[in-house]
Structure 1
C-alpha cells in the first residue's frame, strides 16, 4: 500500500513517500535525503544493515523501477546522524506517523489522499476533454468555411469509443457543409478535423479505403448504423492514416497549377535541347513569372510546397512553391537545376543536386518532416576528361577529352567495353584509366601535357 504524506517545516512542504509492507511502514530514502539536505543519500546509507533498508519496486512513467526504502530503524539512524535544524522536528513527525499506523493498522489519511488525488485526476481529465473539444470545434468551423463547395476527401470524428480509440469516418464530398449536416443527423455527432482538396476525390477516397494500413481498422457497425467508411483508431493509427493521405493526394489533383507545371516541364525540356544545339545559356522563367503574377495581383493555385532533405532524412529547407527552387536568391545549389529534374526527383526517390526532394501539402507547416522512402542510387555517369595513368598511378601519361576517345585510342570497340575492364580493376596496356576529376589536386598539378577539348552534350567546347 502506498501513502503520500506531507511534512511541513518553516513554511515549506515536503512530500514523503511511505509504503506499508506487512503492516510496517518504510520510507523512500531519496525523499528523506532531500528533506535533511543530503545530496549523496546512497553513500550515507551504503553500510546500513538489511533490517534498516530494503529495495522495493515503484511505478514510474518508464515502468517499474527499484527504489531504496528505509525501515523505522533506518530512518532513526539516518536522522540521528544529521545536525540540521530540520532533523529533530522531522524525527518527531516520523514517530507520530508510525504511531498512527500502529494504532489503526493503516494510515487513514492515505484513503483521503487517494480520494483527493482521484478527484483531482477526474477534474484534470474533464478540463482536458473540454479544451480538446473546443479545439476540435474551432478546427471544424475553419475547415467548413475554407473549403465550402470544393471537391475534397474529409477525415471526421463521430465519437470517442472504448480502449482510447475514436470512431473515424473518411469520405468524399463536393459540399462539405451539407454533408456534415447529414452525418450529424445520422450519427448524432460529427466533427471534421482534416480535409484534402482534390479534383478526383472519389478515386482518392477509394484508394484510402482500400489501403491495407487503413482498412484493417474498419468498424462497419456503430449504434446499429452500418457504414464501410468508418474506422476505430487510436492516436498513432490515425496519425498513420493521415500520413497516407498526405503522401498520395497529389496524385489525385488535376488543378490549374499542375497543368501549368506540365507545360513548364515540356518548355524546360525544349529549352534544354535548344541550348545543347546552339550552346546558349537557358533562360530562367523566374523573373517572367513574377511579373505575370504581379499583374494578376494574386495566385490562382500554388500547388504543393517543395522540401529538400539530406540523404539521411534531415529537413534542410521548405520552398513555398516549385518555381522558388529555380531562383538563386532562394537557395544556392551546387549545380544548375531544372523544373523537370525537381519533379522527377520528388517522384523518383533519388538524389538530385545533392538533396532528396519531396512535395509537401500546402496546408502543412514548413517545419513538417516527412518519412523518406529508401534512396534509389542512380548510375554514376562520368563526364569530362579521362586520364591514362602510369602503372603505379604516380603520373599522368596522357589526357583524353572523354571516355569515348579513350576507348578509341586504346583499341576498344565501345566505351562500355573500356568501362567494364576498368570496373574489374584490369590495367589497360599496363596503365590505369581514371576520370580526371578523380585524380586529385597533386596529380593534376604535376601534369605538364596538353589539355584536350572537353565535350558537353556531344559537342566539343574549348576551355
Structure 2
C-alpha cells in the first residue's frame, strides 16, 4: 500500500499574482483555491462566480481531492482523526477557507489561466502582461522560457501603462483603482487629472 500524498498549501507570487496553491497531489502539480483566483482576477464575488466554472474540466471540490488521496469517502472527510496523514492539510483548509472548507473549490493551472485572462482587475494586469507580452513571445522565439526578476518589473511597467491609458478616459475606473495601482507599482499616478 502506498503512502498518502502530503497535500500542503504554499504561496505563489509573481507579477500580478499572489495566490495560495496546493501541492503534493499525485495528478496535479498545482491546484489553486478558485475563489482566490476569481477575486485576484477582479471578477466580482468569487464565491458566486464559482457557479460559472464548477462544471469545467479542472475544477474539483476540496473534499473530493482529499478523498481521492486518502482513500476515504468524501462524506467521512469531516471526521478525520488528528493522526491521519491528511489531518494537517484539513486543519490548513479550515484556517484558510473557513467553516465550509470541504465545499470549497480548487482549479488546475489551465483553469487559473483562463480565469486570470478573463479578469479585468488592474492588480492582475501585470500577470496578463507577463504571460502575453513576455512568456508567450519568448516561447515562440526560443521554444523555452525561464523567469528572471526583470520580467516582473517589465510586466508591472506594461500594466501601469495599460492602467494609465484606461484611467485617462474613464474617471470611475481611475477613482476605483488608482491607489491600488500606485501601491503595486510604487509610482504616483500622473493621469492628467485627479481621480475623484
Name the TM-score class by shorter chain.
0.3 to 0.5
Which has a greater percent of strand?
1
Which has a greater percent of helix?
2
* TM score, norm. by length of structure 2: 0.37
* TM score, norm. by length of structure 1: 0.17
